[in-house]
Amino acid sequence: MLAGAVFAVPILFGAVLGYLALRDAPEVVTLSVLSFTGGALFSVVVEEMIPEAPEAEQSRLDSFYLAVGFVVFAAVTLYLG
Stated pTM of the model: 0.56
Q: Mind listing the pLDDT tens digit for each residue in 12-39?
A: 999 999 999 999 999 999 999 989 998 9
Cα–Cα distance for residue pair 16/22, rounded to 1 Å: 10
What pLDDT band is residue 81 in, cutting at 50, 70 and 90?
low
Task: Quote the longest CA-to-CA distance of the chain.
Answer: 48
Whether 55 has a pLDDT exceeding 80, the answer reads: no
Report yes or no: 33 and 22 within 8 Å, Cβ to Cβ.
Answer: yes
1-23 b/e (C-beta count within 10 Å ≥ 16 → b): eeeeeeeeeeeeeeeeeeeeeee
